[in-house]
Amino acid sequence: MGRRLRLAAGACAIAATLGLAGCSSMPSWLGGGVEKPKPAELGPNVALIPVRKAWTNRVGEVAQPVTINVSGGTVTLASSDGTVAAIDAATGRDLWRASAGGPIAAGVGSDGKVAAVVTRSNELVALAGGKQAWRQKLTAVSYTPPFVAGARVFVLTADRAVSAYDGQTGRKLWTQQRPGEPLVLRHSGVMLAVGDTLVVGLSGRVVGFDPLTGTVRWEAPIASPRGINDVERLVDLVGTVSRAGESVCARAFQAAVGCVNAARGTVAWSKPANGSEGVHGDDRIVVGTESDGKVVAWKRDNGERAWVSERLRYRGLTAPLVLGRSIALGDSTGLVHMVSREDGSPLNRLDTDGSPVMAAPVLAGGTMVVLTRSGGVYGFVPE
C-alpha cells in the first residue's frame, strides 16, 4: 500500500529529488494526518499447498524496495549499504560477496558472470567473481537495476536516458535520451530483452531499442500523461513485468496495466488500474496488486478481468509471483501469502522475520526466494 507510493504520494519527495517545489494535499491513507485503513484480518492459516523454509541467509538492511536478480540457479541481490551477494538458490550459501563502495540507489543486474549496481553517488559499478571490474560515473541517478546481457550493461537513468556499456571494459557504447514528463518515479522501471530487442519503459511507453546501436525500433504507449499538475501526469512504467514469448505486460504507475507485442511493437490492450507495483503472470493471466491491496487478475489475451480478491487489502503487498497453480505475494509484516491462481483464495502463509518484504518473490531453480527490509533472505520449496 502506501509504503511504496514514495514519490507520487504528494509530490514533496519528488520535488526534493528533482529540484522542484510544491506539495499538494494527500489522501488520509497516504499519510495526510488521518488514521490509515486497518489491514485486512487474516484467518487461520490452512496449508493447502505444503511449503517448507529450506534455508536462510542475510545481507544488510534494505531501505527501499528492490528487485532480486535470477540467473539460472543463482540469485544476486544488494543491500542499501552497497553489499552485493550472489547466493546459490538451492542451498542458500554465498557464491561470493562484495562491496559496491558506497550505498546503492537501485538493485542489482546480472547475467551470471557480471553483476552491476548503481550507487547513490551516480556511479555504475560492475563486479565479476566478487571483485570490481570497472566503475563509471553517470550523468544522473538511476532507480532501475542495470540490465546485463550480450556482454553489455544497459542503464536507465532518471533523466530518461538509456545507455549501453561494454561489459568487460565499462566503455560507453551509446546513449539515447528521450523526452518525457518533468517528474520521474523513484521506483524500479522496466528493462529487459525480447529476442534481439532491448525493451525499456519510458514514461508511459514501452520502447524497443536496437541494443547494438541504440536506434529506436518502435514505441507502444500503455498510458498517456493526463491531469492538471505534474504529479497527476506521472505515468512511469514500473517493474516487475510479465513476459510470455513476445507478449510483455507492464504497469503504468497509478494509471493502467497493459500488454504489448514486443516483436511488432504494437499494443495488445491497456486497462485502467490503480497500483504502484509491477505485475507477473503466465500465458493465460496477468496478476497485479492495486494500491489498496486488491489482487487483480487480467486475461492475457484481451485484458478482461478474470477475478479480483480483497482478502489482503491494505497489507502493503509486493508485486506477485505466479508459480504454477499459486501466486506468491509479500506484505509489510513480513508474511508471504500463497493464493490460488484461479480465484485468489488462500493456499498457505509463510513467515519471515517480521519486517516488510522488500522485493517481489522470485523463482530460481525450484526455490522461491524472498528478501526483507532487515536483510533476511529466505528460500522456500514445496514439499
**DSSP letter, residue 303:** -
A 10 A CB-CB count for 364 gives: 21
Say if strands 109-110 and 247-252 run parallel, antiparallel, or are unpaired.
Answer: unpaired
Whether 83 contacts 77, CB under 8 Å:
no
Cell of 250: 507492464
Domain membership of residue 98 (yes or no) is yes
Within a domain: residue 33? no
- How far is 231 from 20, CA to CA, in rounded Å? 11
Residue 46, domain member (yes or no)? no
Share of the chain above pLDDT 70, in %: 91
Query: Looking at the 3D structure of the chain, how many domains does it have?
Result: 1
The pLDDT score that the predictor gives to residue 233 is 76
Separation between Cα atoms, residue 10 and residue 30, nearest integer Å: 8
Start-to-end CA distance of the chain, whole Å, equals: 31
Identify the domain containing residue 267 by its residue range.
2-25+51-382
Q: What is the domain-level CATH number for residue 234?
A: 2.130.10.10
Which residue numbers in the chain have pLDDT < 50?
1-32
37 DSSP 8-state letter: P
Q: How far apart are CA 274 and CA 307, in angstroms?
A: 16
State pLDDT tens for residues 165-217: 999 999 999 999 977 667 788 889 999 999 999 999 998 999 999 999 999 99
* Rounded Cα–Cα distance for residues 383 and 380 (Å): 9
Residue 196: which of 217, 176, 175 has the closest Cα? Answer: 217
> Prior bond to 367 cis, omega within 30?
no
Cα–Cα distance between 276 and 269 in angstroms, integer?
A: 19
Q: Is residue 45 part of a domain?
A: no
pLDDT computed for residue 180 by the predictor = 67
Q: How much is the pLDDT for 10?
A: 37
CA atoms within 13 A on the CB side of 25: 4
Whether 311 is in a domain gets the answer yes
- Does residue 37 lie within any of the structural domains? no
3-class DSSP state of 106: coil
With respect to residue 109, please indicate whether it lies within any of the assigned structural domains: yes
Q: What are phi and psi of 155, to 5 degrees?
A: -130, 135
Note whether residue 43 is domain-resident: no
Secondary structure, 3-state, 38-82: CCCCCCCCCCCCCEEEEEEEECCCCCCCCCCEEECCEEEEECCCC
